[in-house]
Amino acid sequence: MKTVAIKNLMDKLKNNFHETQYASLILSATLEDKNSSSVKIELDFPRIQPNGNKPYCVFWNTSKGDWSDVGCAVKYGDADSTVCECNHLTSFSVLMAKENISTDDLDMITKVGLGVSICCLVIFLTVEYLVWSAVVQSNLSHFRHTAIVNIATFLLLGDCSFLVPAEKFGEDWCLFFTVCKHLFFLAMFSWMLCLSVMLVHQLIFVFNPLRKRVFMFLSSIVGYVCPILIVGSSYVFCKYTGKKYYDTETCWLIFERLLVGSIHAFLLPVGAVIFTNLFSMVVVIVTLLKSSVPDGSKSDDKETAKGIVKVVVLLTPVFGGTWIFGFALLLLNRGTPLFTVANYSFTILNSFQGLFLLITGCFAEKKVRDEMIKLIMAKSKGKMESTKNFTSTTYTKDK
* Whole-number Å distance between alpha carbons of 288 and 364: 19
Q: How many C-beta atoms lie closer than 10 Å to residue 169's C-beta?
A: 13
DSSP letters for 52-110: TEEEEEEEEETTTTEEE-TTEEEEEE-SSEEEEEESS-SEEEEEEEEPP---HHHHHHH
* Whole-number Å distance between alpha carbons of 364 and 307: 8
- Would you give the distance in Å from CA 155 to the centre of its chain? 8
Per DSSP, the three-state class of 292 is coil
For residue 206, the model assigns a pLDDT of 60
Q: Is the dihedral of CA 49, 52, 55, 60 positive or negative?
A: negative
Q: Which residue has the higher pLDDT, 279 or 89?
A: 279
Question: Does the fold of domain 104-374 match that of domain 2-98?
Answer: no
- DSSP class of 260: B
pLDDT tens, position by position, 311-321: 556 555 555 55
* Whole-number Å distance between alpha carbons of 217 and 40: 62
pTM score of the predicted model? 0.67
Contact 273, 188 (CB under 8 A): no
Helix (H) and strand (E) counts in the chain: 11, 11
Q: What does CATH list as the number for 2-98?
A: 2.60.220.50
**For range 66-87, the mean pLDDT:** 76
53 falls in which pLDDT band (50, 70, 90)?
low
Closest by alpha carbon to 267, among 281, 277, 280, 254? 254
55 falls in which pLDDT band (50, 70, 90)?
confident
Per DSSP, the three-state class of 42 is strand
For residue 296, the model assigns a pLDDT of 45
Mean pLDDT score of the chain:
76
Per DSSP, the three-state class of 246 is strand
Enclosing H/E stretch for 187 = helix 171-204
- DSSP class of 11: G
Burial of 307 (0-12, 13-18, 19+ CB in 10 A): buried
pLDDT tens, position by position, 225-263: 999 999 999 999 998 888 889 888 778 888 777 778 888
Closest by alpha carbon to 288, among 178, 202, 174, 379? 202
Per DSSP, the three-state class of 396 is helix
* Whole-number Å distance between alpha carbons of 30 and 238: 35
CATH class of 104-374: mainly alpha
**For range 177-190, the mean pLDDT:** 93
Q: Assess whether pLDDT exceeds 90 at residue 186.
A: yes
* Whole-number Å distance between alpha carbons of 338 and 252: 23
Q: Which of 213-227, 231-245, 278-292, 348-362 has the lowest mean pLDDT?
A: 278-292
**For range 357-368, the mean pLDDT:** 79
**Could you tell me the residue ranges of all domains in the chain?**
2-98, 104-374
For residue 295, the model assigns a pLDDT of 46
For residue 212, the model assigns a pLDDT of 83
Closest by alpha carbon to 237, among 253, 224, 223, 220? 253
